[in-house]
Amino acid sequence: MPETLPSLLENPDVFFTSILNALAHGKTLTSAEAEAAFGIIMDGSLPPERVAAFLMGMRVRGEAFEEVLGAVTALRRRMIPVSQIPAGTIDVCGTGGDNYGTLNVSTAVAFVLAALGVPVAKHGNRAVSSRSGASDVLLALGVPLLSDPVDLSRQLARHKLVFLAAPHHHPAMRHAAPIRKTLGIRTLFNLLGPMVNPAGVKHQLVGVFAPEWLHMVVDVLHGLGSDRVWAVCGLPDGETQGIDELTLAGPTRVVALENGATHSFVVQADMAGLPYAPVAAIQGGDAHHNAQVLEALLHGAHGAYRDTVLLNAACALHVAGQRSILTGLQIDPQAFKECVADVSRVLDNGAALAVLNGLRASSSGTHAQDITG
């Protein structure tokens, strides 16, 4: 692209044509070029065919770090942020896209962490890889999805937990949604959700649908100022497809940002004293079904769902800086088991259920909005 970026951006159509031409020749975009291209998409100034060609060109060639960084930066610039978030607030969120259709794990983990006093700003959306995404199950549980910044700050202060529904904070995404649906395949947008938390959290446990993306997610978040991140992908035995959470069904690959450095290791359920269970043991259903099972969990129900939540919540406590389950760069099984015991207590003594009931009771007088549009 011989012209300078500012001059090309004077005419978005000409600029985007130059971007498509670069992709057609297998070239990698700079972060500035990618940010500009995604900005044009997010501003809704392109016909859907051109956006689809762009997304497919990146998918076929393979998305590069600079391109993901540019996309995240473009979306962050257009989001409606949430302020007054306490230091140490964590997000637990998955990319979706794993097609396993499991029960809602990270949503349950959020209730557990809040019961332990850890502030959680959970970013979520409608279903992606299951029949019930975070927003779906919360609505079925009677938890309001607030949009007003004052209400959000008040909810977090009172209950240590706030749910940030993506459509409230990323209205620019509406321009890409129909195109993604029409394409019907994974695009770069599948990765962006956990990297554009509207609260700007610096601690994140991110579930990723495929292990080859773990380093990318951590490197982008590190580059944007995160303090501690674990990107995790479970690898169920005998399956070729990863799952976007720590799993009981096999090893979980982890890429971790700790103390400014990135390193990799594997987590197994037995390190935490938890038994093996197949993914089928946590098969989910629609929002009503998943809400019933989640509420039973908060009432103390045992089984594979509880154990999966224990595994993920124990690691999230470490990522939040509330516990340490590592010795050097290795999992410390004793510390891991003690962390699981701490998580178990708030499921057994009703503290996690109290968080749910508190959120339900606080719904009157708030500015909840419909997110179906």
CA atoms within 13 A on the CB side of 1: 24
258 is in an annotated binding site: no
Whether residue 160 is annotated as binding a ligand: the answer is: no
Distance of CA 97 to the CA centre of its chain: 11
Per the annotation, does 18 bind a ligand?
no
* 134 annotated among ligand-binding-site residues: yes
Report the chain's terminal Cα–Cα distance, integer Å: 38
290 annotated as a binding-site residue: no
Q: Is 281 annotated as a binding residue?
A: no
Q: How far apart are CA 1 and CA 111, in angstroms?
A: 50
DSSP one-letter code for 130: S
Flag whether 260 is marked binding.
no
Q: Is 206 annotated for ligand binding?
A: no
CA distance 371 to 368: 9
Sequential DSSP letters for 296-333:
HHHTT--SHHHHHHHHHHHHHHHHTTS---EETTEE-H
Report whether 181 belongs to an annotated binding site: no
Residue 182 assigned as binding residue: no
According to the annotation, is 172 in a ligand binding site? no
Residues 6+ apart with CB under 8 A from 84: 153, 156
Tokens linked to 51? 């956006």
The answer to the question of whether 88 is labelled as a binding residue is: no
Q: According to the annotation, is 136 in a ligand binding site?
A: no
Q: 94 among the known binding-site residues?
A: yes
Pair 62, 175: CB distance under 8 Å: no
- If one counts every other C-beta atom within 10 angstroms of the C-beta of residue 188, the result is 19
- Asked if residue 67 belongs to a known ligand binding site, the reply is no
Residue 51, annotated ligand binder?
Answer: no
Write out the two tokens for 13. 């159509």
For residue 168, say whether it is annotated as part of any ligand binding site.
no
CB 119 within 8 A of CB 88: yes
Q: For residue 300, say whether it is annotated as part of any ligand binding site.
A: no
Q: Which residues contact 366 (CB under 8 A, 6 or more apart)?
A: 144, 146, 148, 151, 155
Is 124 annotated among the ligand-binding residues? Answer: yes
Which residue ranges are tagged as binding site? 94, 97-98, 102, 104-107, 122-130, 134, 180, 244-245
Which residue ranges are tagged as binding site for anthranilate? 94, 125, 180
Which residue ranges are tagged as binding site for Mg(2+)? 106, 244-245
Which residue ranges are tagged as binding site for 5-phospho-alpha-D-ribose 1-diphosphate? 94, 97-98, 102, 104-107, 122-130, 134
